[in-house]
């Protein structure tokens, strides 16, 4: 019985990625698979953990927010960046995603990591200056994948910075729309830069991060 229990525990652990103090359940984890079976119409956009999120976590470990910062995670998906900030820096994080179906996955990851994350269903295009003024930091990973999103994100950046958001950090594998967003951000904002960031675990991967500091 003990041997079978140890084998079962080892098998379950193989479905978990441990990184920077966060336990990220893979899409193959039994509890994740159960949620997926319950959501036949679950969107394909937020249905796994993305490598850009791990690179973003690594960057934030070097350049963390202040204690108890108010953070908005746009297109949060399963919320790994949210979990990292909440657990490591006691950030008050709101995860925003257009797909309501990601919330059970985010909350499952939150329970595993003993974190509290607020979730709101909606698109970033509808965020008002008043709503954005409540946040110190905006983070996102893998959200600029269509050309038409570039203008919408630039509009968001303008309103957010005007509303007092101190920093915006967007991670991406380097899709063409993201590079267009970077070029336009460099033109529009004095304190915008693009950072190349590589991690070696849990995978060896390189991503790109757009960082905009409020003046």
Task: Give 7-34 pLDDT, tens digit per residue.
Answer: 333 334 688 999 999 999 988 898 888 8
Helices 176-188 and 149-162: angle between axes, nearest 10 degrees? 40
Supply the pLDDT for residue 41. Answer: 55
Task: Give 123-180 pLDDT, tens digit per residue.
Answer: 999 999 999 999 999 999 999 999 999 999 999 999 999 999 999 999 999 999 999 9
The tokens for 2 are: 């003990």
- Which of the 8 DSSP states describes residue 73? E
CA distance 58 to 35: 28
Supply the pLDDT for residue 119. Answer: 97
- Which of the 8 DSSP states describes residue 47? S
CA distance 163 to 79: 24
Domain definitions of the chain by residue range: 2-213
Alpha helices in the chain, H assignment, sequence order: 2-13, 30-38, 51-62, 80-89, 103-112, 129-132, 149-162, 176-188
Supply the pLDDT for residue 2. Answer: 43
CATH code reported for the domain at 2-213: 3.40.50.150
Tell which wins on pLDDT, 113 or 32.
Answer: 113
Q: Are 208 and 171 in contact (CB under 8 A)?
A: yes
CA pseudo-torsion sign 61, 175, 204, 46: positive
Burial class (CB within 10 angstroms; exposed 0-12, middle 13-18, buried 19+) of 83: buried
- Which of the 8 DSSP states describes residue 87? H
Q: In what order do the strands lie in the sheet with 167-172?
A: 118-121, 92-97, 70-74, 137-141, 167-172, 205-213, 192-199
State yes or no: pLDDT of 62 exceeds 80. yes
What share of the chain in percent tops pLDDT 90?
Answer: 76
């Amino acid at each position: 019985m003990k041997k079978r229990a140890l084998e079962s525990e080892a098998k379950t652990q193989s479905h978990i990625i441990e990184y920077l103090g966060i336990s990220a359940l893979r899409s193959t984890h039994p509890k994740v698979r159960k949620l997926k079976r319950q959501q036949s119409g679950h969107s394909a956009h937020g249905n796994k953990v993305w490598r850009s999120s791990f690179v973003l976590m690594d960057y934030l470990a070097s350049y963390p927010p202040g204690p108890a910062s108010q953070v908005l995670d746009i297109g949060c998906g399963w919320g790994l960046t949210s979990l990292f900030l909440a657990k490591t820096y006691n950030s008050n994080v709101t995860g925003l995603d257009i797909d309501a179906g990601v919330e059970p996955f985010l909350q499952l990851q939150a329970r595993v990591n003993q974190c509290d994350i607020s979730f709101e269903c909606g698109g970033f295009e509808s965020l008002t200056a008043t709503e954005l003024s409540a946040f110190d930091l905006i983070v996102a990973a893998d959200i600029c994948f269509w050309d038409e999103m570039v203008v919408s994100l630039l509009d968001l950046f303008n309103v957010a910075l005007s509303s007092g958001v101190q920093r915006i950090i967007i991670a991406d594998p380097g899709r063409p729309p993201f590079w267009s967003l970077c070029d336009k951000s460099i033109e529009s904002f004095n304190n915008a830069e693009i950072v190349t960031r590589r991690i070696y675990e849990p995978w060896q991967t390189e991503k790109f991060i757009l960082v905009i500091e409020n003046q």
